[in-house]
Structure 1
């Protein structure tokens, strides 16, 4: 728990094959997975420049922590591409969810972390930003605005994981 940002709410993994990754987690009993084959990020910027990023995203909870799998499907510049091009695959970021996005954004900037990529998903209350913190803690930090439809979906995913019996392990959103 961060005294300033709250609990880590999500562990993010960058993968080359999202279906394979979901099945590996399912084999460990984690699910159900909520899968978006064509996730749309609006107003996406990488290092301040606009780009159109295409990706697949899958979400599931393990207790209070959400697991996010991301497979970028185009070659737009992003932290995901940077991660893969460095020869890595797997755990890439932790995310803090916030209802006061602007304050969390400013807090991380005040700590000296630069925004590398940012955008929004699920409407204007779905902002997210990734900060360059690998040099300090070994992974990227993300803040994600928890409001509107994104909050409702995240709550639904968490509820679905409680007592999950293994049925319908992959559910398309």
Structure 2
């Protein structure tokens, strides 16, 4: 438990082949996966500059911890692209969720954290920020607003995973998988 951020809610993996990674986690017994091939951001900035970053995302839960898989779909600047371009693949960030995103965001900046990239998915209550903590912790810290529809969706994913029987292991844009 972090006195600044709270409890870790998510582990985020940046991957080159999201389909293969979902299958790997399914074989490990984690699922079902909720997959979105073309995630649409309201805005996205990398190191303060707008970026046309495109990505695919898959989400599942293992207990109370959400597992996120992210595959960049273009070469636009992002911390995801930097991670892959450095020759790595795998755990890239841990995330903390808040219903008071602005308060947590302000507290992080006041504590000396620097935003590497940030954006929003689904409106003002879908904001997220990745704090550039890789040199300090070996991974990035994400903070994410769950006060709106995103929080309800995350709760639904956790509830479905709790009783998952192995059927329909991938849900969503399965027709768009590589």
Same-fold status (TM-score > 0.5): yes
Residue 87 of structure 1 aligns to a residue whose secondary structure is coil
Q: Distance in 2 between matches of 1:159 and 1:28?
A: 19
- Could you state the TM-score of these two structures normalised by the residue count of structure 2? 0.94
5+ long unaligned stretches in structure 2: 174-178
Shift of 1:91: 0.1
Distance 1:43 1:55 in 2: 13
* 1:2 aligned residue: 2
CA contact (8 A) 2:100 2:147 kept: no
Cα deviation for residue 7 of structure 1 reads: 0.6
| Cα displacement (A) at 1:2 | 1.2
Higher strand share: 1
Paired with 1:113 and 1:144, the residues of 2 have a C-alpha distance of 15
2:148 aligned residue: 148
How does the TM-score come out when normalised to structure 1? Answer: 0.97
**Number of the residue aligned with 2:116:** 116
- Cα distance between partner residues in 2 of 1:82 and 1:149: 29
Structure 2 counterparts to residues 1-173 of structure 1, below 5 A? 1-172=1-172
List gaps (5 residues or longer) in structure 1.
none
Structure 1 stretches of 4+ moved >3 Å:
none
The size of the alignment, in residue pairs, is: 173
